[in-house]
Structure 1
Amino acid sequence: MQLVFHPTTQIVDILHQLVSRAYGHCLQLYPDIQSFTGNVYRQDSPLPQFASPACITGLAGVGKSCLASALERVLPSDGYVACPPESSKFPMRSLWRVDVQVRSSLKDMLAPLGGSEGSLGDQLKTARKRAYRDGVALLLADEFQFLTASASANTRITQTLLSMGYCGLPTVYVANHSLLHRLLRRPQEDRDRLLADLMILSPDTPESDDWSDTLAALIAVSPEIFRINPKTDAPQFHRYCAGIKRAAVGLLVEGYRIARSQTNDGRFTVNMEHIQSAYRSHLFFAHRIDIEIVTQQLILGRQVDNKRNDLWCPIGQPDRLHPKLTEEMRQRRDLRLTEEIQRAATSGQERKTNKPVNRTHHTGESSTVVKLPRRARPDAETLRTNAASLRDL
C-alpha cells in the first residue's frame, strides 16, 4: 500500500511546472550540436553562475517524495548521444537527484557529479562542467529535514542550498514546513534567494474527485477486504486523516488489524466502523494528535501550537484550495458538534436504541412545580475536561 501513487491535479500541475523548467533550460543551453560540442571542451561551463532554487513544501506524508519519484519516471531515462563528425558518445541524464541523509556533507552531495577530490570550489567547477556535458536539465534535492537535527542546522541548510544554486542548474528542493520556518529566520539576502519560488502541495479537499480517486486507489490493493465506498465514504474518511495520504494508509492498515483480530475463522472485511476504531486506537495516537491540530488550524486560520512548526505553513495556503477546504472542515466540525450535543442530551437507553426522545404534554388540571437544585460552579479541572472533549470532536 505504501507503493500506491495516484497523480492528483495538484501533483500533475507541479510536475508540469518542473518539466517546463527543464525543457526551457535545454532549449536555452543546447540550441544545436555545434554549440554543444564547442561548450563541452570549454574551460568554463556555459551554465549560469547562479540559479535560485525553487521549493516544494507541504505537510509530512502529503506526497512530496512520491512526487519527486514521479518526476524521475516522467523525465527521459539515462542514455547516450552520438555527436558528429567523430560520432563521439556523451552520457545523457535528465535529472540529478540528491537524497540528503543525516550525516551528509555538501561534498558528499556533490560527489556524483563533482567527484570527491579537491576543495568545495573544485567540486563545484567540476560539477558544472559535467552537468552541462551530461545534459542534466534539473537538480532535485529531497529529505532536507534530516539536516534540521543539528545545532547549526540553519547555517548548514542555507550553505547547502546556495551551493546547489551555484551549480547553475534549475534546482528544486523538497522541504517540510519546519524547514521554511528556519529559512524565514535567515537574513533578507538568503530569504530572497531561497524562498522566492514556492510550490505548495496541500491535502486534497474532502469532496474533491482527487481525494475519492486517491482513496479508491488505496482500496484497490485489496477490494475484497476493504468494503469502503470511495465516493460516499470519502468525506468521513477525510475527517480521520485530514487528507494526509500517509495517515490514510495508517488508518487502513490499523483497520485491517482490528477487523482481523475480531474473527477466528480468517474471514473478515474492513468497513468505516473499523476505520473509526483505528482512528481512536493507541497505535494511531501520533497521527491523531497531528490531524486534530491540522484541522483546528484550517478552521481558525492560524497556528494553534507554536511548538509544532512542522504542521503550519508560514506562507499560507494556495488561494484555490484554502477557502473551500476551510469551509468544508468547519461545516463537518459543526455537524459533529451538533451530533455530540444531541447524543449527550439523551439517556443511556435512548442512545442504545438510537431513537429520538418522545415528549408529550401533560394535560392535567394542575401540576406541581419542582425546584431543581442549583448546580455548583465548575472547578478548573471540570473546565479542562470539557475543553478537551470539544477538541476531540
Structure 2
Amino acid sequence: MNDVIASRFGNCLDPEKIRQFVTVRPEPVSSLAGLQSAIGAEILGDAWKRIYLPNQFSLQFIDEIIGRARLHFSDLFKNEVENRAKVYTPPEVDVAPICLTGLAGVGKSCTLEALRKVMPPPAEFYSDHFAGQVTLVSHWYASAREKISGKSLLSEFIFSDAKSLGGYQRRFIEEARRRANRDGVSLVLLDETQYINTGLGVAKITDILLTLASIGPPAVYVCNYSLVHKLFGRNSEDKQRLLSQPRVMLPDLPGSKDWTDYVDECVRVSDGAIRPGSGDFAAELYRCTFGIKRLSVQLLKQAYIECRNDRRYWVELRDLSRAYRSAAYTSNASEVEELQTQALGSRQSKLRLDLKCPFELPAAYRTNVVEFARAERDQRVISKVFDSSLTEAERSAKKQLEDGTEIVVKKPSRRLAAKKLSKDEQAKAYFDRLDLVTQPHMPKKPS
C-alpha cells in the first residue's frame, strides 16, 4: 500500500540480535561501605532487579510472537479494499490466546517487557481514504490490575485518550475490532493476571480472557499456576479456547550456561560485594532459590545483611546458608523445599497448587532437576551420617575448626604515643638507663 506498510515488520531479527537488543546489564554498584546494611542491601537489590539476560526459552518465545504479529499485519494490509472493509465492518474473529505461565518470580513479565521492546514503534500512516493521518500501533498492552470485567479491559485499549462510550459490552468489542484494524494492531498483551485471581470468581476471570481473545489480533496473557488450575475447572469450550496454547516458562536448569551467566552478572554488578571464593557459589544459590530470579535477589540481599553483621563488606558462600535460615527468608525457604520435594516425586502437594505446574513438563527438565535435587539430598544425608558417627571429642574438635573459620581478623590496635617529658625528666631517664647498662654482672658458675 505504501512504504510505511511495506517496511513495518521488514526488519527481521534473529534470536542472537534479539538477545543483544533486550539484554540489560546495569552499572556496578559502589560506595556501600558508609551506608547501613539494610540500605546497602536495597541499593544492591535494585541493581540486581534490573538485570535481564534472556534465556533460550525467552528468545524462542519472543521470536515466535513477533512472527505471529508479522503474519497478522501482512494479512491485515494485504490490499487496500480488504483493509477498508475490515475497518468499517470488522469481522468476528475468535483467536486462541497464548497462555504464558510459570512460577511466580521466574521472569514472565520481564520477558513480556523485552517483547515490547522488539515490537515496531508507532509510525504515521497516510492514506487518501482517511482525513489526516493514522498512527500505526504495533501492539496493545494492559495490566489486569483493577479489571473487573471484559468491558473494563476494552475501555483501557480504545478509550485511554477519549471519553468512554456507554452501552453493552458488544458495542465495546466492535469498536475495539474497528480500531485494531485501522491502527494495524498486530498483538494484544495482558499482564499481571494474578491480580484478577483474588476476589473475583472464575467466571469473571474467564470473561476477561475471552474478551481478550475476541478482539482479533494474536493475544498473549501471562498468569501463574494458580490461575491455570482454576481455568482447568471450567467447561471444555472455555478450556479449548484459553488453554490450548500454553507456554510454560521454567527456571533455568541447575548448572546451565544461562544460570551461570546470571550469577556471574550479579557478581559483576555487586562490584566486590559478592566474593564467590573457591566453592560452587552458583550451585548453592540455586539450591536456596530453585533457580527463581526474584528469590535470588531476595536471598542475596539478606546475605549482604548477614555479612555486614559479621563485620564484612562482601558476601561469601557461607552467608547464603545464613540468609536461607533467616527470618526474612523463612516463607520463601518453605516454598523452595516444597518445589524440591515435588521434583523428587515423593509427595504431590494438593494444597500448594501455586507451586505445581498444571501442564506436563519436558522429560529433560524433570530429569535434570531431579538429579540435582537427589544429589543435594544425598549430600545432606552423607553429612548427617558423618556427624552422627563422630565421637564427642571429634565433634568438639570439628566445631572448633568450623568456628575458627568464621573468626573475623581484627587489625592490631595502635600503640599509644609516648608521654612527653621535660628536660629534667629526660636527663634522669637517661642516667637511670646508663646505670642499668653499665652495672657489672656476676659470671656464671661452671656446670
TM bracket (short chain): 0.7 to 0.9
Output the amino acid matched with 1:109.
L
Structure 2 unaligned residues grouped into runs of 5+: 1-47, 400-447
Kept after mapping to 2: 8 A contact 1:113/1:126: no
| Partner-residue secondary structure (3-state), 1:307 | coil
Q: Which has the larger radius of gyration?
A: 2
User: Identity of counterpart residues, as a percentage?
Assistant: 31
- Could you state the TM-score of these two structures normalised by the residue count of structure 1? 0.83
| Partner-residue secondary structure (3-state), 2:140 | strand
Q: Which deviations, in whole Å up to 9, do the C-alpha atoms of 1:37-68 show, x marking residues without a partner?
A: 5346x42125x521111100100010111111
| Partner-residue secondary structure (3-state), 1:149 | coil
Kept after mapping to 1: 8 A contact 2:83/2:181: no
| Partner-residue secondary structure (3-state), 1:90 | strand
Match of 2:371 among 327, 348, 353: 327
Change (3 A) 1:244 1:85: same
Q: How does 1:84-233 map to 2 (within 5 A)?
A: 88-102=132-146, 104-115=148-159, 116-118=164-166, 119-150=168-199, 152-228=200-276, 232-233=280-281
Which residue number corresponds to residue 258 of structure 1?
A: 306
Which residue number corresponds to residue 84 of structure 2?
A: 38
Match of 1:5 among 48, 52, 71: 52
RMSD: 2.2
| Partner-residue secondary structure (3-state), 1:277 | helix
- Could you state the TM-score of these two structures normalised by the residue count of structure 2? 0.73
User: Is 1:61 aligned with 2:105?
Assistant: yes
Q: Which deviations, in whole Å up to 9, do the C-alpha atoms of 1:169-221 show, x marking residues without a partner?
A: 11111110001110011011111111100000001111100111111222222
Q: Which deviations, in whole Å up to 9, do the C-alpha atoms of 1:324-361 show, x marking residues without a partner?
A: 22222222221222222212322354245449xxxxxx
190-199 or 345-354: bigger deviation: 345-354
Kept after mapping to 2: 8 A contact 1:25/1:137: yes
Q: Which deviations, in whole Å up to 9, do the C-alpha atoms of 1:109-163 show, x marking residues without a partner?
A: 211333331221111111111111111111111111111212x421011111111
Kept after mapping to 1: 8 A contact 2:202/2:230: yes
User: Is 1:82 aligned with 2:126?
Assistant: yes
C-alpha distance in structure 1 between counterparts of 2:148 and 2:113, whole Å: 20
User: Is 1:340 aligned with 2:384?
Assistant: yes
C-alpha distance in structure 2 between counterparts of 1:351 and 1:237, whole Å: 28
How far the C-alpha of 1:165 sits from its partner, in A, is 0.9
Change (3 A) 1:36 1:348: farther
248-257 or 229-238: bigger deviation: 229-238
Which residue number corresponds to residue 442 of structure 2?
A: none
C-alpha distance in structure 2 between counterparts of 1:140 and 1:90, whole Å: 22
Output the amino acid matched with 1:215.
V
Change (3 A) 1:107 1:86: closer
215-224 or 340-349: bigger deviation: 340-349
Change (3 A) 1:231 1:196: farther
User: Is 1:294 aligned with 2:342?
Assistant: no
231-240 or 274-283: bigger deviation: 231-240
Output the amino acid matched with 1:140.
L
Change (3 A) 1:228 1:104: farther
Structure 1 unaligned residues grouped into runs of 5+: 356-393
Size of the aligned set, in residue pairs, is: 347
